[in-house]
Amino acid sequence: MLLLPNVTVLDDAEIGAFRDFAAAGGGLYASGRTSLFDPAGRQRADFGLAGVLGVSYLRQLPDVQTFLSPTPAGQPYFAGLPPGRPLTLPSRQQCTRAAGRAEVLATVTRAWTDPQGEQYASIIANPPGRPTGWPALVAGRLGRGRSVYSAGVLEAGQHRFHHAVLLGLVRSLARRDYCIAVQAPPSVEVMLYDQPGQSRMVAHLLEAGRAAPAEPVTLSVRLDGRAVRQVRTWPGGQPARWTAAAGRAEISGLRPGALQLAVIDYTGGRRGRG
């Protein structure tokens, strides 16, 4: 799976590689104006990845605040959001046209007023008021691959609903279970390394905030046929709480400070591909 968060500049070789990746069965998420410009800064007539994403570029909306209105096909990704209530997106969106086998999961709704073009504004809020038919979220297909395109930069949203919608869309692209899953505050960053020569996996947990998380962190790792012998945390080498079931190991009670390592010693198995 590849994520291209508003990667505006791509060269022809990169576009070809991403197209081949998707056609071979890969999943691809892209947002905003991804692939619209070449390395010289020239705007293409259409997205370089238009054939992969299932959308064609028309123009960019000037609105600095827009909304996502789910279609019936996209409603499951917006679970928990009151019906008929669009999701606010603090981002400009693109006007696009869906093509081919693409499925529109949400459409663009504009705010009641345009704060850039009107001579008045609300002092309380600028609610959704102008529905459009422009695709805001689109699921596409190319060969055996799948894609999701967001006309706005969905990943820049800070609300839990933004995170939930994005996570659901990304999960829809996965061809198999994730190699790693984490339950942690947004300030915790996690990287997993497999070291087969030493029969271990090492998870680096970094707290990017100023203090340790108030709630413990839980880490779930796909085993790919490995059998866990022990799990230790470093510094200190203390045993960690863990369980193994359904092909995954779950390590709980982690409380990373500036940096913590979780070392998973294992036997057997094979190197899995994420």
pLDDT tens sequence across 179-194: 899 988 888 889 999 9
Q: What are phi and psi of 236, to 5 degrees?
A: 115, -35
Residues of the chain with CATH 3.40.50.880: 2-173
pLDDT tens sequence across 151-163: 999 999 988 899 9
For position 272, what pLDDT does the model report? 43
262 by DSSP, 3-state: which? strand
For position 208, what pLDDT does the model report? 78
Residues of the chain with CATH 2.60.40.1180: 180-267
Which residues does residue 138 pair with via DSSP β-bridges, in sequence order? 104, 149
Task: Tell me what the pLDDT averaged over the chain comes to.
Answer: 89
Torsion of CA 37, 40, 41, 42, to 10 degrees: -70
For position 212, what pLDDT does the model report? 59
The predicted model scores a pTM of 0.81
CATH match for 2-173 among 3.40.50.10610, 3.90.1150.10, 3.40.1160.10, 3.40.50.880: 3.40.50.880
**The domain at 180-267 falls in which architecture?**
Sandwich (2.60)
pLDDT tens sequence across 31-47: 999 999 999 999 999 99
Q: What are phi and psi of 167, to 5 degrees?
A: -60, -40
pLDDT band at residue 80 under the 50/70/90 scheme: confident
For position 3, what pLDDT does the model report? 95
Which residues does residue 191 pair with via DSSP β-bridges, in sequence order? 204
Of the chain, the percentage scoring pLDDT greater than 90 comes to 66
Q: Which of residues 142 and 138 earns the better pLDDT score?
A: 138
For position 122, what pLDDT does the model report? 59
Which residues does residue 234 pair with via DSSP β-bridges, in sequence order? 261
74 by DSSP, 3-state: which? coil
Mean per-residue pLDDT, 128-138 = 89
Is the separation of the CB atoms in 87 and 136 below 8 Å?
Answer: no
